[in-house]
Amino acid sequence: MAVDHQVLAVNGINLSIYSAGPADGRPLWLLHGFPECWYSWRHQIEPLARHGYRVLVPEMRGYGQSSAPSEPEAYDLITLCGDIQAAMDALGHTEAGVISHDWGAGLAWYLTLLEPQRVKALVTMSVPFGGRPKRPAIDIMREANADRFNYIVYFQDVGVAEAELDADITRSLQLLLGGTGEMFLQDKPADARLFDGMPEPQGLPSWCTEKEFSVYRRTLSRGFRGPLNWYRNFGRTWQRTEALAGQSIVPPTLFLLGDNDLVGKLESHTIKRMNQVVPRLEHHVLENCGHWIQNERPNEVNALLDDFLGRHYKA
């Protein structure tokens, strides 16, 4: 199937978008996470397009051929939502379905709060939502990890994580994509680095071929500065979302999680109370599955998408 590519000038940046499916099909936006790329949806694009959807897969701000501003304040979630909102406007999408993973899911939750009439169906993977927190999450993380390493706290200082991750982009991606996530829970000093104590990578994960990995590597070839900036805006996002406090997610929502996903373990308290702010929630846990859910279990994910979209956002 042919995949089209275009670059839109929106929200002060250039946004690279891949698309497939009939031009008049119902829009379906697929939003990737960290440290991924549009190609992380490779198992979903063609099946969804063949069902009649117009599938749109942006390279998110900071990735690939999209603009990557160097200043961290250019990556708060309201600004990032603005990229997708402006692209939808430019393409004439008055309604849309959204499928998302990882940081893409973090964006999708707030996009849906901002656009309750436009987003008709929402799918999020791996990252749950419990509403706007009472204070910035980074403040809580700093307090809880004052004497031990925490990867999100480590990502906060501009230039520090970049120096480690950019030193060998291939190795960094192999460790990030190929691990079980246990590197993020290692008990080590607060001044440690992300990969300290980690064994050398043993090839690629089973779900990723060398050809596929080359797309990830090319996407991150400029370095990790832009993607890491997504982590540096907990405070700014919290300030800019005050008007959204207490609001619920309106459209029908499907949340998918791998049973071995570290995020699920860290955010179990959020998952338990999700239905309080996501009243039309459907929740599925995939067995023997880690964080990279749409790649590790593509057939199961696609079947769940077909069922959910068929009921709530038919092409």
Catalytic machinery residues: 102, 291
DSSP assignment string, 267-309: THHHHHTGGGT-TTEEEEEETT--S-HHHHSHHHHHHHHHHHH
Place of tokens 């656009």: 115
Three-class DSSP category at 38:
helix
- Determine how many CB atoms are found less than 10 A away from the CB of residue 266: 12
Place of tokens 């979209």: 309
DSSP-derived letter for residue 201 is P
DSSP-derived letter for residue 226 is H
Contacts 24+ apart (CB under 8 A), 116-120: 116/250, 116/251, 118/88, 118/93, 118/94, 119/95, 119/250, 119/251, 120/95, 120/96, 120/251, 120/312, 120/313
121 burial level (CB within 10 Å; 0-12, 13-18, 19+): buried
110 burial level (CB within 10 Å; 0-12, 13-18, 19+): buried
